[in-house]
Amino acid sequence: MIKKIKIEVKNLNKVIEDKQILNNISFTLDSEEHLVIIGSSGAGKSMLVKCLLGLEDLSSGSIFFRGNLISGDEDKQSFLTNLGVCFQGNALFDSYKTWENIAFKSLYNERSPNVLKLKKLAIGRLEEVGLPVNVAEYYPSELSGGMQKRVGIARSIFSEPDILIFDEPTTGLDPIMSKKIISLIGKIIKDSKKAAITITHDINLAMVLASKIILIDAGEIEWAGCPTQALSSKNKLLKVFLNG
């Protein structure tokens, strides 16, 4: 089967006040591929996500979506329509109920949204991520960290986007909840056959979920390969990550 390239990042550079945050980053994401970007704190992972999402302007370089360069606002909008993002801190809207958070994209962007239908769909997504139906009526502040993370995941998959992005999905969770979230993400990607990018410093997550791993250090790609190659790699930093 010929794999179509979903995202291509070419020579991405980000400079803030003379400081090189990202240096010549290039990679591709094919359909049904799960790219995991790992790196220690301050390596530039979060900035890379922000650049990808268009939240930060690039200093130089380019990002292509389905072969088309993302440049103007319209391209950005079309790209974002095809993205589902789960943020590190969940970024749930605290003045909206859980189901409204999940269905937000449709609820506030469709011309005349069918609220009942959207609520039903949102409850369906809640069940998909393993949360009880009654959570739909709760506000985010009434949920535990693990539940909020699941709601964040439910929101990212609500509109069945082409590409899923998970930013530090296990940060701040206990080991048991982390394992549950890792297996939930794995199941979602496997079932939906979507392309996905996960940003993490958790090598276990990368080894379990990734089809391709990129290791970033000081804003540069230090190593790239698949999980099996990672095990036999002689890269010192990667070894530190693998051996703990």
Question: Would you tell me which residues interact with other proteins (CB under 8 A)?
Answer: 50, 53-55, 77, 80-81, 83, 85, 87-89, 91-94, 104-105, 108-109, 155
Select 88 or 178, whichever has its Cβ closest to other proteins.
88
Residue entry with tokens 């958070």: 101
Question: Which are the contacts of 112, defined by CB distance < 8 A and separation ≥ 6?
Answer: none
Least CB distance from residue 141 to other proteins, whole Å? 11
d(CA 191, CA 100): 24
Select 164 or 206, whichever has its Cβ closest to other proteins.
164
Select 14 or 155, whichever has its Cβ closest to other proteins.
155
Least CB distance from residue 215 to other proteins, whole Å? 25
Least CB distance from residue 89 to other proteins, whole Å? 5
Least CB distance from residue 196 to other proteins, whole Å? 15
| Cβ atoms 138, 97 nearer than 8 A | yes
- Consecutive H or E run containing 230: helix 227-232
Q: Among 242, 227, 219, which Cα is nearest to 41's?
A: 219
Query: The tokens of 204 are what?
Result: 């276990």
Least CB distance from residue 133 to other proteins, whole Å? 23
d(CA 244, CA 241): 5
Select 34 or 155, whichever has its Cβ closest to other proteins.
155
Residue entry with tokens 């099996």: 228
Select 18 or 175, whichever has its Cβ closest to other proteins.
18
d(CA 202, CA 213): 12
Least CB distance from residue 91 to other proteins, whole Å? 4
Select 53 or 242, whichever has its Cβ closest to other proteins.
53
d(CA 159, CA 161): 6
Query: The tokens of 23 are what?
Result: 């240096």
